[in-house]
Structure 1
């Protein structure tokens, strides 16, 4: 019987290897990567059946990486991992088309189940926040707390890189755009979010799960 092919993306090497060990008895792990851009490249190369990805990763977070994976035509089921119990993270993950959402401290007991269900076309949400997530949708506020929906995909990429400490020149090099364009994106991001400084951008990025302080 052919085993499902999995790509793992997590910038914590020890955890990533632990996940590999957990999954290998049942699945074929075809790649382990450490940031969002590597994830997009691995997904295009290996065309996995499922992707297990941390949300908070350097260079490009898991949710934005998932969007690029989808736009590249890769149909892998995506199961997100996070250490954060805040339901806002789960909302963003599910709105991005995720098939699963698992908290990192529950990985050993829930991840295999989440992948199995995802591969069967189902959705798995960790029971620890499933009720709260459902309540948030019933309350009609699923998008109200997520200001990142005001930004374009490119603006969210620029925001994450700036929040990680890159200069406009470094952002331009990373995204293969001009420095002037990078600076223009930053100005539009500040205006759209009603922020005044890079420090405020960093705090916003942390609250939104674009970067992590873990």
Structure 2
């Protein structure tokens, strides 16, 4: 019987290798990637059955990467495996199109079940968040939608790279746009959100899960 094919996306090699040993007895790991952009490319090329992805990843965070993947691939099952116990992140993950949300410390006894449920078309939420998620889903969904609607997809990409310390010139090269366009997005974000400095903008990115601390 053909085993389900999985892509792991985690920028910590020790964690990724630990996950490999945990799930390979039952599933095939076809690739491990270390950033959100590499994940998008790997999914397009390999067409896996399941993606296991962290939220906090360089170049493009997991949630924004999944949103892009969902535009061209509705079939792949997506499970977030993260250290973030905040229910707001779980709400954002599900809204982006995930079937599962598992905390890393629960992976040894929850990840396999999350994968099996996702493959059956069901949703799995880590046990410690299930009740809280049910109670707060509606309010957090409204809040996150309002916050995310302030920024376009391109602005979120620029903002994450700014928060990760890349220069305007480097960002322009990575996104294949001009430096002037990067500057325009930077100042337009500050204007739209009501911030005065780039430092304020970076704090906003961290607060709203666009970039890691």
Instruction: Name the TM-score, length of structure 2 as normaliser.
Output: 0.95
1:197 is displaced (CA, Å) by 1.4
User: How large is the RMSD of aligned CA atoms in angstroms?
Assistant: 1.3
Provide structure 1 residue ranges, at least 5 long, that are not aligned to the other structure: none
Confirm or deny: 8 A CA contact 1:206 1:212 kept in the other structure: yes
**Hey, what does 2:57 align to over in structure 1?**
57
**Hey, what does 1:142 align to over in structure 2?**
141
1:137 is displaced (CA, Å) by 2.4
Q: What secondary structure does 1:144 align onto?
A: helix
Confirm or deny: 8 A CA contact 1:43 1:74 kept in the other structure: no
Distance 1:91 1:137 in 2: 6
Confirm or deny: 8 A CA contact 2:92 2:144 kept in the other structure: no
Structure 1 runs of 4+ with >6 Å offset:
none
**Hey, what does 2:169 align to over in structure 1?**
169
**Hey, what does 2:5 align to over in structure 1?**
5
- Post-superposition CA distance 1:187-206 (Å, at most 9, x none): 12112222211111221111
Instruction: Name the TM-score, length of structure 1 as normaliser.
Output: 0.95
Greater alpha carbon shift after TM alignment, 120-129 vs 68-77: 68-77
Provide structure 2 residue ranges, at least 5 long, that are not aligned to the other structure: none
The count of residues paired between Structure 1 and Structure 2 equals 212
Change (3 A) 1:78 1:25: same
Distance 2:132 2:192 in 1: 29
1:74 is displaced (CA, Å) by 5.8
Q: What secondary structure does 2:101 align onto?
A: strand
1 or 2, which has the higher helix percentage? 2
Greater alpha carbon shift after TM alignment, 96-105 vs 66-75: 66-75
Distance 1:137 1:28 in 2: 33
- Post-superposition CA distance 1:165-192 (Å, at most 9, x none): 1111111111001111111111121122
Distance 1:119 1:42 in 2: 19
Task: Tell me, yes or no, if structure 1 residue 117 matches structure 2 residue 117.
Answer: yes
